[in-house]
A = this chain, B = another copy of it.
Amino acid sequence: MSEGIDGRYDDGDERGFLSSYDPHAFAPAAVTVDVVALTIREGLPHVLLARRAAHPQRGLWALPGGFVRAQDSEAGPADLDLPDAALRVLAEKTPMPTEIHLEQLGTYGAFDRDPRMRVISVAYMVFAPDLPDPGTGRDISEAAWVPWTTKEETAFDHARILDDAVERARSKLEYTSLATAFLPSTFTITALRGVYEAIWGRTLHAANFHRKILATPGFVEDTGELADRGGSGGGRRARLYRAGEAALLHPPLLRGAQ
């Protein structure tokens, strides 16, 4: 990968070469994962944040995160891949269902993003249905689902990571079927529209949305059942759907248009 380091071994055989590496010699940066877990509560997007229990920046909100375990150690077994590390640090803050949508957001590595040392952080996003509040009876630092509009002070560069996550989520809703990841296994078209309206921050024309969703092949499948009851103030009972097979929407739903 780097000619500067590899060059010293140009004449060796591969077997002898592999045993001669000292990982610490080439590892002057720490690697962490941070997770932006998003959900929708009462029509508003929320993100899972934890209060920092230790210095630096003690008491500020921070994304759930932690060091990637590169090898087995006293802290626990190694993380075999980065998504494993992301799910582990998330589970340390709140219980999660087995089926959640996890995707990589990006990696942040500016030299001054952490005052302690050079830290390179791989950020992940989770789209989750509405979940209970993080348990308080467990060995968990204070964590909570916080409205993402809350511009309270956050630790390190987590405000920027959160902004990037918001923009990614808004964009993903346009051309993928990921909106269903915010909902339980069956849902109504109105609930699906609520996801779009919450993430995009605008209202959509209910009738046109309905037509468009049903016209997009593979977005939702009819379960044949009806919701238990209509909306809060009465109303017809809505049909229940489940997520379909399609991952990409053709054509997309555009937030710019109405």
Seen from chain A, the residues whose Cβ lies within 8 Å of a Cβ on chain B are: 1-7, 9-10, 12-14, 17-18, 21, 23-24, 26-32, 34, 52-56, 58, 62, 65-68, 70-71, 75, 78-82, 89, 92, 104, 106-111, 114-122, 141, 174-175, 250-252, 254, 256-257
- The residue that A31 contacts in the complex, of B10, B54, B62, B120, with Cβ under 8 A, is B120
B82 touches A7 (CB 8 A): no
Contact B109 A53 (CB under 8 A): no
Which residue of B has the minimal Cβ distance to A85? B109
- 7 pairs of A and B residues whose beta carbons are closest in the complex: A6-B54, A2-B66, A29-B70, A70-B118, A27-B27, A82-B109, A28-B70
For A64, the closest partner residue in chain B by CB is B1
- Taken together as a complex, chains A and B put the C-alpha atoms of A127 and B194 apart, in Å, by 37
| Residue from A54, A65, A67, A251 with most neighbouring chain B CB atoms (10 Å) | A54
A to B CB contacts below 8 Å, 30 in the list = A1-B32, A1-B34, A1-B67, A1-B121, A2-B89, A3-B54, A9-B55, A10-B53, A12-B55, A14-B55, A17-B55, A17-B56, A17-B116, A23-B118, A27-B27, A27-B28, A29-B68, A31-B109, A31-B120, A68-B109, A70-B111, A70-B118, A80-B111, A81-B110, A81-B111, A107-B122, A120-B120, A174-B175, A250-B256, A250-B257
- List 15 extra interface pairs beyond A28-B71, A81-B111, A251-B254, CB under 8 A: A1-B65, A3-B92, A4-B75, A7-B54, A9-B54, A12-B55, A17-B55, A17-B56, A18-B116, A21-B117, A78-B111, A80-B110, A250-B256, A251-B256, A251-B257
> Do A1 and B66 touch (CB < 8 A)?
yes
Q: Provide the bound-state CA to CA distance between A107 and B109, in Å.
A: 12
A14 and B66 in contact, given A27-B29, A29-B23 (Cβ under 8 angstroms):
no
Instruction: Find chain B residues with CB under 8 A from A31 CB.
Output: 27, 29, 31, 109, 120
Which residue of chain B lies nearest to A92 when distances are taken between CB atoms in the complex?
Answer: B3
Known interface pairs A92-B3, A115-B18. Does A120 touch B28 (Cβ–Cβ under 8 Å)?
A: no
From A156, which residue of chain B is reached at the shortest CB distance?
A: B1
